[in-house]
Structure 1
Amino acid sequence: MSSEAAVRLAEIACELCIEAGIGNLTMRAVAERAGLTPPAVVYHFGNREKLLLAALEALRQRLLATYQAIVAGLRAEAVGDMDAHSAICAALIELVATEGRAFAASDDMARALAVTAQAQQAGAVVAGMYGDAETFWRALPAVDALPEDARVLCVAVPLGLIPYAILDRVAARRNAMIVQAITRLFARLHGAAVILRETAGDLAPLEDEARPEGKQQIVEATIRLSGRLGIAGLTHRNIAKEAGLSAAATTYFYPTKEDIVVDAARVVQMRAIDAVIAGHVPPPKFPSRIALDADSEERSELAALTAFMNAAAMLPDLGNLAATFRWIRGLAAVRWLRARGYAVDRLDGIIWSSATTPLTRKALLLPKAQRAAFLDDTAEIWLHRLFGQS
Structure 2
Amino acid sequence: MKYSYIARQPILDRSKRTIGYELLFRDGPNNTFPEIDPDLATSRLLSDHFLSTHYSTLGDNLGFVNFPYQSLINRIPTLFPSDNLVVEILEDCAPTSELLSAVREMALAGYTIALDDFVPSKEWRPFLPFVSIIKFDIRSISIEKAEIFIRKLEQTKIRFLAEKVETYEDFQRAHDAGFDYFQGYFFSKPEMIQRKALEPSFITVVQLCKQLAKPSIDYKALENLFSQDLSLSYKLLTYVNSSVMVSAKIKSFKQALVYLGEERLRKFVALVAIASTKESKPDYLYRLSVQRARFCELVARKVKSDVDPGDAFLTGMFSLLDSLLDQPIADLLESMPVDEAVKTALADGTGTLANILGTAISYEQANWQALAELSATLKLSDESLSQCYDDAVQWTGDLLASAETGTPS
Which band: TM-score by shorter chain? under 0.3
Structure with larger RCO (C-alpha < 8 A, sep 6+): 1
| Structure (1 or 2) with the larger CA radius of gyration | 2
Larger relative strand fraction: 2
Larger relative helix fraction: 1
TM-score by length of 2: 0.25
TM-score by length of 1: 0.26
